[in-house]
Amino acid sequence: MEPDFQRIFFNSFGNSSLKFIWKYEGERIPSEMPSNVFTGKWMPQQAILSHPRCKGFITHGGLGSIHEAMYYAVPLIVMPIFVDQDYNAERIRRLGHGLSLEITTITQVQLETAIKKIINDPR
């Protein structure tokens, strides 16, 4: 993950009062990683998505992840990377199950706005 891209996530998460769980395989940079972020190389995705305090899911838009999130009624922020993920992201957006962000042009403001929207939108 490029440092500038990484910083968008660090800053966005750090500016939130929420707690985040991040499947993160990079080096943990203590000076930049916000204290409200728990990281690990592997996460029990279904257990997390099924937890009543799970308020949203940021994903690349793989079909398995989308199915699991929809099953547990967890809103999505989808940042497609390749193949069918663009289509999946658009379907999620059109169906009202979440938002889609362009990974190549995302800004901190866009990410923070998307997080606030899926947390506060009653749908």
- Read off the pLDDT of residues 75-111 as tens digits, 9 standing for 90 and up: 999 999 998 999 999 999 999 999 999 999 999 999 9
Closest C-alpha among 42, 37, 41, 40 to residue 16: 37
30-42 mean pLDDT:
86
**Looking at per-residue confidence, does 24 or 35 come out higher?**
35
Instruction: Please check the confidence at residue 28 and state whether its pLDDT lies above 80.
Output: no
**What's the rounded Cα separation, in Å, for the pair 120 and 123?**
9
Helix axis angle, 3-14 relative to 108-120, nearest 10°?
40
Q: Looking at the domain 3-120, which fold is it?
A: Rossmann fold (3.40.50)
What would the two tokens of residue 86 be? 């663009």
Entry field: residues in the chain: 123
DSSP 16: S
Cβ neighbours of residue 111 under 8 Å, at least 6 residues apart? 8, 9, 12, 77, 101
Task: Please tell me the pTM assigned to this model.
Answer: 0.90
